[in-house]
Structure formats: structure tokens, C-alpha cells
Structure 1
Amino acid sequence: MASSRAVPNLEFRRLRGQRSPGEFAALVRRAAREIGEQVACDARYIGRVEAGEIRCPNYAYERVFLHMFPGLTLADLGFSARETVRGRAARGRTPRPPDPYYGNNGNNSTYSNEESDVLRRAFMTSGTVTVAAASLGFGPLPGAEALRSDLPRQRIGASEASAVEAAVRQIRLLDDRHGADGLYKRAAQPLRAAYALLDAGATTRGSTADRLAAGAGELAISVGWLAHDSGRLEDARSHYAEALATARVAGDTALEAHAFCNTSFLARDAGRHREAVRAAQAGQRAAGQLGSDRLLALLTLREAGAWAGLGDRAGCERALSRAHTLFGRGPSDTDPEWMSFFGEPELQALEAQCWSALGDWPRAARHAHRAAALQDPHFARNLALYRAQLAADLARADAPAEAAAVGEQVLDALEGDVESTRIRAMLDDTARVLGSRRSTAGVTSFLDRHAATAPAAAARV
């Protein structure tokens, strides 16, 4: 609901022209893909901008809008200056403001704070979701039982569905920039809140019910991924199974394909390679109805990774060939919102994992190098992951100096804003491989620095 102080953004409405809000949102998503940005734009977001509810876009949308309208400024687009909206100019940007997701630890970001501000406002505008708003907004977290007892007395509608969807986007944005370790425990309560809303709205029908089920399932997958990336594999398996069950009950094939995609990834990481093959193939069957070649490409890459884990080089190569063909058909408006991370860098990284599992270290290193070189630094967590893969492959390809140099870059990320048990474990493995190569230039420095950071990393888990 718009604030009484909101002033309609007529300039932005003029730029939309004769297109519907949905058509314009599709153009925004397409422009985002062109510059490797991640935005979840839909007709509702366009409506909020035009109504004046969003006085200044976050940094991701700012980059996309300026790409769409070269030569124009935010003011030309009808937005207010950031400092007048946030009131942060006088305080400067150092030290960084405390982030409600991480606490005042000095390693948060202004971007995260601004996203949190937007999210809280969206949750708190509806008086029917007071309890769920606190949970989904990562604010003061009430107990799950209190939440469940309150919700049945409330009307479950579009505001609640929007709150769940916004929580999914928020978690994904923060994970892109920071990794999972600092997020997982905080994300469990919003997940409980989402399923409490789903239970409370069991009699809800139509598009709102569909949105609520899809949102709860996507949130389960997002929290499952946080568990996965932070080394809690059994927790991740439980969350992915919950998402799959939600998809089956709701008849949501898009959610089903996503759940199978992550289940396959997890099974491969847990060493259950045949299960990983079956899950990837099941995901492809579900995705076949959705018209997204990029989604099919990702699921086929999951299958390729599983074949590689089984040592089946021929099966892996066949799946890689299919994946490249599908990926080459390009993106489309039918690609799921959650796949915004999947571009050429991720394709190269997943192929690197295949060759690494097959023991072809030089080939794996070439693909991992391409992934790191192509990745936008904006996605800090994935860039650190690709470099960790590259360091591991170089170490096994008998290139210790190069491995140590890349390993130092990963340590830079881990000492900054990125927290990921998965990445830390990959770097630990690289350090073990390089342990016998201390005489090589640069290796001792890397090993000493890695050893010095290990206790601090363990303390954060």
C-alpha cells in the first residue's frame, strides 16, 4: 500500500510508454541479463515505482535502468537522490552502517542495508501480517508456535504472498554477496513463518494460493541452499525434500524442477552420484513443460556432474554436449527468476567440476579460469567459489605457484564479506595438496596465511 506521502513518478511512467507494466518488467529483466545483473522485476515492482513508493531504486536496479536509458540520470528517471531518501550522506560510507542481518561487524554493506529497508517497509504496510512481517523481515523473531497460533485468525492474501516472495529475493541477494554461513540460522525463522502462512491459508484459492505455495517452496530451497553451502548437508536434504513435497501438492512443475536441480547438486556433493543422476533427469522431465532452454541446460549440467562423479566419462561428455546446445539457444522470458546467476561463468565452472571429478586437472583449470575471468565481481560469493575451484585444479595440475596466487585471492574474499564453509573446505583441500611444495615461490606465504585464518573461520561456524 502506498504511503500517503508518495508522489507518483510521472517521468518513469512516461518512459514506459504504451507497454503494459508486465511487458516493461520483461524488458527490465532482459536488460539485467545483458549486464550480468540480478533483479526480480515484475509488474508489481513497476507499479510501486510509478506510484512513488520506491523513491530511489537499489544499486542493482540503478545499474539496469541506466543501462536501459543511456545518458539519463536517476533524476531524469523521476527518482530522488539516494542521500535524501536514506539520510546517509552526512554520515559517509566508512565505517559501514550496521546490517540487521549480520550485526555491527564492520563487514556488511550499504547495499544490504538498503535492501533491508525496502523489505521491512513492504512487510509492515499491511496490518494483517504483523507477526509474519517480523519473521519474514529478519526482525525480532517470535517463536514458531506463537506465530502459528496467531496466523489462523488473520486473512491470508496477496500481502502475505508478497512478503514471502520478497524474503526469497532478499536471501538470494545477500547470499550472492556474502555466502551462506552468516545467513543460515537467521533464515530458518522466515521459513517457518512462510509455512505457517501456507498452513493458515489452506482454504485460500486461486492465484494467491499458488503464489503462497510457490513462495514457501522457493524459500525452502533458498534456506536449503544456505544449509548446503555452509556444510549442513542433512539439513539441506530436508529442506529440498520439503520444497519438492510442496511442489507436488501444489502441482507446480517449475518449483519441482528447481527442487530436483538442487537435490541433484546436493546428492553429488554427498557422494550419492546415482541419486544425483536420477534427480537431474527427473528435473529435466519436469522442466520440459516450461519452455526454458537455460533451465534444461543447468539440469543437464547437473547430470553431467553426476556422471563424472561415477567415473563415466562418456556419459559426462554426452550430457555436456547437450548442455552446451541448450545453453547456446540463449535466454528467454520463460527462464525462472532464480536462474539469474546462470550465465557463461557458471557454465564454465560446472564443466570445470566435471573434468576435475574425472581427474583431468589441466582441462578443469582452463574452464575454472574462464569462469573466474568472466564473472562479474558484483557476485562476490560466486567469484570466490570459481577461484577456489581454479586453485584446487591448478594445485593438482602441478602448477603450485599459480595455485597459491589464486588461493591468496580467495583468502582476500573470505577475510572480507564472503562467508562460505563450502569455499573454505575447497581451500583447505588446496592447502593440503600444496603442503609438500613449500619451496615453490609463493606457496609458503599462502600456506602460512591460510593456517593463520583457520581458527577465526572455525569460530564463525
Structure 2
Amino acid sequence: MTVGGTQDKQPNAQLTSWFVRSGWSKGELARQVNRRARQMGALHVSTDTSRVRRWLDGEQPREPIPRILSELFSERFGCVVPVEDLGLRPAHQPPAATGVDLPWAGPQTVQLINEFSRSDLMLGRRGFLGTSLMLSAGPSLVEPMQRWLVPVPAAGGTDPRTPPPRESGDRRPKLSGPELELLEATTVMFRQWDNQCGGGLRRKAVVGQLHEVTDLLQEPHPQPVARRLYRVTAELAALAGWMSYDVGLHPTAQKYLVLALHAAKEADDQPLGAFILSSMSRQMIHLDRPDDALELIHLAQYGSRGTATATTQAMLHAVEARAYATMGQVNKCHRAVRMAEDAFSDSCVSEDPDWISFFNEAELNAENAHSYRDLAYVAGRSPAYASLARPVMQKAVDLFAGDSVHQRAYALNLIGMATVHLLEKEPEQAARLTGQAIDVARHVRSERVNNRIRKTADSALRHYSHVAEVAQLTERLAAALPEAAETA
């Protein structure tokens, strides 16, 4: 599985650097590669310790090895590690198949979502599209998303959002108003399940519903009905993306979110598009790409100006603050936090679409507290910013404690409060709150929650292994939340 060219071969210093920092042995990396290859259906891949050694010595592996290594190191370090950064040559594949630069046209959007969701349903495993799927970042992500701002062209009396009818003699009856309302209500129900149970429990149901709706969109509909169907499609694709992100399927999540943005454009729903961009921004923050996150959130703010409700504006400012905090931009972070609070003070629930209903007082406090907490980390575990985060995070925890729906958010903020206690050198309290988060996490199918619990416990153990409560926490974690198997 190698590419020729060995006489002038030089050691691969870039790959070696990532490999050494990962802490993996050559045998462990080989096992991880083989495991991921099996999940992708690449059964011909069989890697061993000697093959890994040859890669480090400069041998260039063929696909899908470079893409697998990129995914493994990205997940290991929590940031995007492109193939090129590993000193490997990526495969040359058509941009439409591999990236996010897709046609901004209704029929193509419907077809792409239909095909993507069908593949997801059929194979249903990490990396299910094999070597055709990888994370995009930097200009290759941001520049195509900027086309969201270009108005949909008029086409005489015909709505360009309406796909041409299928070439079939089987004509379905027109979609009735009650049927369309039921589709919209089902989307709301799926969103509630996600908030309460996490992304791992109902993701496949959402993907299946999305596939069915795109089937409907391939039939002719009046313009108002087509727009509503595109809106449902956008909401379902955004939810599928968010649930994929929640269970750790980052390339899959990004693809769904990109397609959701295309559908929102066809629905002519700028606030929904801004919400989708904010989800993409959150993913980039998680992957330690704050510059990309900031570009995406500014694009969301610009594209939804004059159309977004006060609650949506507050959410966008709160995500903006998170991006600034991760970059260490203190003054801009404080400004964005204030703007989020000011906008939220003008919120009117009756004006808000359902997809922004998660952004309540608890979530506002949670986002702002995490911004202060992130500033503390960027400033070298600064106690000053930790003290700013503490009362705001505590308010979020208290508000979520009485919320039976947003259980994942409750768990995440218990973990957030635990990290604040660690910053303030209070390991006993951190262990107690992490234990509470474990109790909630056992009923929430969210690998994102589980990973944050593990990272917090690891941090506590690194600094306070001598504290009895911390030692007990690690034992409990191993029993209650063992390393998860791959999830769909």
C-alpha cells in the first residue's frame, strides 16, 4: 500500500511530530488505522508496526490511509489536522465530492441531501462515505459559505426552488396542509428528544425523516408549500448535523450543516441560515479553529440583519464571545457578552421560531460563563477570569437543574462548573460536580458530554491525584462511562 519513490526518501518530520505528541505506540496507531478502515469498509487495509515505521521514515501511503490518519489525529488533539499538515499527499478528488463547495440551487441541494442521507442510513458508521468525506476548514470552508449571501435569482414566473417532477407515471397526491403541519410538528419533537436524550438515541430517525422529506421535494409543489418543505429540510438537516457532532462524527456533521444552509437559502429563511452557521461556528470552536468560527458567526450576523429576532441575535453574540474568548481577545469578548445580554433583554418568546427555543436564560448564562472560563485558560489559568465565570456558571447550573428537557445542557454545565473549581484549586468540589454530571450522562446518549467528563477527570487527576475524591472519581468514571463503542 505504498507509493513508489524511495531513493531520495526523507523522514517525515511532520507526521513524526504529531505521532510523538499523541502518546501512541506504533502498534497502537496501526490498530487504530485498521479499526477505522474496517468501519469505512476498506477491508483491504492491513497495517502493522513496520508499516507505521515506514510512514515515519518518509514512505507515502495511498488512500484511504492519509485521510484515516487525518481523522485520527484530529480527534486525538481536538482540532483539524489536515492531510497536508501530516506531510502526506492528499488524493486528488473532485471538489463537489470531497468538500463543501456545492451548487447553490434547489434541485441539486435536494438530490445531494437525498443521496447523503440514504448513504448514512445504509451504512451507518463513522466514515460511512469512505474516502470521499473529510473536514473542511479555513478558506475552503468559509469562502463557499459566503455565497449564502447571494440572492436567489428570479426566473420569470417559475420558482427556481421547485425541483422538476420525477420522470415517472406515479404522481402522488398534493401534500395537504395538515400533512405539512405534521411534518413540522415532528421536527419539533425530534429537537426536544435531542435536547433531552442527546444525539446518539434518535439520530437515525432524524436522518430517515430527512430522506423522506427530500423525496417529497422531488415532486412539484406550489411555491409556498415548496418553501415550507425546504424549511423543514433545513431544520432536519441542521438537527442531523448537530446530533452527528454530538456523537463525534465531525465530517458527517459538517456535511449535514452545509447542506442545511443550502436548504435554508432555498426556503428564503435568513434567521434559520444564521442559526445553522452558528452551529458550524460552535463546531469550529470545539475543533480549536476560532478564526474560522469568528468568520462564520460574522457571516451569520451580517446575513440575518434586520430579520433575526432578539433571542437569535443574543445567541449569535454569545457564540461570537466564545470565539473571541478562545482567541484571547478580552475586550472584544466582553463587548460581545454585553451585546448578548442586551439583546436577550428584548427577547419575546412569542416571536421566536422553535429552533431557537433552547436559548433561554440558562443557556445565555452558560455561554457567557464558558466565555469567561475560556479566557481563564487562555490567560494561563487566570483566577481573575475564573472568578468572573463562577457566579454566571452557577446560575446556569441552578436554572438547568429544574429543567427536565435540556438534560444534555445540564450535564455540560455541571462539567463547566467543575472546570471552574479546578481553576480555583478546589478539587473536591470539582470531583463532586463531575460525579453529578456522570449521573446525568448515564441517561444522555452524548459522546460530547462523555468526552468532556473524561477530560475534566483527567485534568483533575493530573493536578490532584493525591485527593481522595479525585481518585474515587476516576474509578467511578471507568465503571459508569467506559470508552464508548462507535455510534451511529
Residue 369 (structure 1) shift: 1.6
User: Which aligned segments of 4 or more residues in structure 1 are displaced greater than 6 angstroms?
Assistant: 141-144, 148-152
- Aligned amino acid, residue 448 of structure 2: R
- 1:386 correspondence with 2:413: yes
- 1:162 correspondence with 2:181: yes
The C-alpha deviation readout for 1:396-449, integer Å capped at 9, x for no partner, is 32110000000111111122x211111111111111111142332422221110
Residue 388 (structure 1) shift: 1.5
* TM-score between both structures, scaled by the size of structure 1: 0.64
Alignment map for 1:41-440 (pairs within 5 Å): 153-157=171-175, 158-200=177-219, 203-290=220-307, 292-359=309-376, 360-375=385-400, 376-378=402-404, 379-415=406-442, 417-436=443-462, 437-440=464-467
Checking the alignment, whether the CA contact within 8 Å between 1:294 and 1:326 is kept in structure 2 is yes
Residue 372 (structure 1) shift: 0.6
Checking the alignment, whether the CA contact within 8 Å between 1:290 and 1:334 is kept in structure 2 is no
The C-alpha deviation readout for 1:214-247, integer Å capped at 9, x for no partner, is 0110111111110111111211111111111112
Partner of 1:443: 470
The C-alpha deviation readout for 1:278-331, integer Å capped at 9, x for no partner, is 221222223323251111010111111111111111111111111111111232
Checking the alignment, whether the CA contact within 8 Å between 2:188 and 2:354 is kept in structure 1 is no
Checking the alignment, whether the CA contact within 8 Å between 1:156 and 1:197 is kept in structure 2 is no
| Residues 373 and 247 (structure 1), Cα distance of their counterparts in 2 relative to 1, 3 Å cut | same
- Aligned amino acid, residue 430 of structure 1: T
Residue 377 (structure 1) shift: 3.0
- Aligned amino acid, residue 344 of structure 2: F
Query: 2:198 & 2:121 partners in 1: Cα distance?
Result: 25
- Aligned amino acid, residue 215 of structure 2: A
Checking the alignment, whether the CA contact within 8 Å between 1:407 and 1:427 is kept in structure 2 is yes
Alignment partner of 2:263: what SS? helix
- Aligned amino acid, residue 382 of structure 1: A
Partner of 1:127: none
Checking the alignment, whether the CA contact within 8 Å between 1:164 and 1:216 is kept in structure 2 is no
Checking the alignment, whether the CA contact within 8 Å between 1:297 and 1:326 is kept in structure 2 is yes
Residue 455 (structure 1) shift: 2.4
- Aligned amino acid, residue 434 of structure 1: A
Which shifted more, 297-306 or 183-192?
183-192
The C-alpha deviation readout for 1:28-76, integer Å capped at 9, x for no partner, is xxxxxxxxxxxxxxxxxxxxxxxxxxxxxxxxxxxxxxxxxxxxxxxxx
Report sequence identity in percent. Answer: 26
| Residues 152 and 264 (structure 1), Cα distance of their counterparts in 2 relative to 1, 3 Å cut | farther
Query: 2:484 & 2:313 partners in 1: Cα distance?
Result: 36
| Residues 152 and 414 (structure 1), Cα distance of their counterparts in 2 relative to 1, 3 Å cut | farther
In the alignment, structure 1 segments of 5+ residues that lack a partner are 1-134, 136-140
Query: 2:193 & 2:332 partners in 1: Cα distance?
Result: 36
Query: 2:482 & 2:345 partners in 1: Cα distance?
Result: 44
Which shifted more, 447-456 or 380-389?
447-456
Checking the alignment, whether the CA contact within 8 Å between 2:207 and 2:236 is kept in structure 1 is no
Checking the alignment, whether the CA contact within 8 Å between 2:301 and 2:313 is kept in structure 1 is yes
| Residues 230 and 150 (structure 1), Cα distance of their counterparts in 2 relative to 1, 3 Å cut | farther
Checking the alignment, whether the CA contact within 8 Å between 2:254 and 2:280 is kept in structure 1 is yes
Query: 1:335 & 1:288 partners in 2: Cα distance?
Result: 15
| Residues 152 and 338 (structure 1), Cα distance of their counterparts in 2 relative to 1, 3 Å cut | farther
| Residues 332 and 189 (structure 1), Cα distance of their counterparts in 2 relative to 1, 3 Å cut | closer
Checking the alignment, whether the CA contact within 8 Å between 2:421 and 2:427 is kept in structure 1 is yes
Checking the alignment, whether the CA contact within 8 Å between 1:254 and 1:290 is kept in structure 2 is yes
- Aligned amino acid, residue 423 of structure 2: R
Query: 1:409 & 1:363 partners in 2: Cα distance?
Result: 23
Query: 1:374 & 1:427 partners in 2: Cα distance?
Result: 20
| Residues 449 and 208 (structure 1), Cα distance of their counterparts in 2 relative to 1, 3 Å cut | same
Alignment partner of 2:357: what SS? helix
Checking the alignment, whether the CA contact within 8 Å between 1:388 and 1:407 is kept in structure 2 is yes
Which shifted more, 397-406 or 355-364?
355-364
- Aligned amino acid, residue 173 of structure 2: R
Provide the alpha-carbon RMSD of the alignment.
2.6
- Aligned amino acid, residue 178 of structure 1: C
Checking the alignment, whether the CA contact within 8 Å between 2:294 and 2:324 is kept in structure 1 is yes
- Aligned amino acid, residue 243 of structure 1: A
Partner of 1:132: none
Residue 159 (structure 1) shift: 4.6
- Aligned amino acid, residue 204 of structure 1: H
Query: 1:354 & 1:152 partners in 2: Cα distance?
Result: 55
Checking the alignment, whether the CA contact within 8 Å between 1:287 and 1:295 is kept in structure 2 is no
Checking the alignment, whether the CA contact within 8 Å between 2:230 and 2:266 is kept in structure 1 is no
Query: 1:371 & 1:226 partners in 2: Cα distance?
Result: 22
Count of residues paired in the alignment: 316
Query: 1:248 & 1:151 partners in 2: Cα distance?
Result: 30
| Residues 271 and 156 (structure 1), Cα distance of their counterparts in 2 relative to 1, 3 Å cut | farther
Checking the alignment, whether the CA contact within 8 Å between 1:267 and 1:276 is kept in structure 2 is yes
Residue 150 (structure 1) shift: 8.9
Query: 2:487 & 2:121 partners in 1: Cα distance?
Result: 24
Query: 1:151 & 1:388 partners in 2: Cα distance?
Result: 57
Query: 2:169 & 2:223 partners in 1: Cα distance?
Result: 20
Query: 1:409 & 1:151 partners in 2: Cα distance?
Result: 59
| Residues 194 and 448 (structure 1), Cα distance of their counterparts in 2 relative to 1, 3 Å cut | same
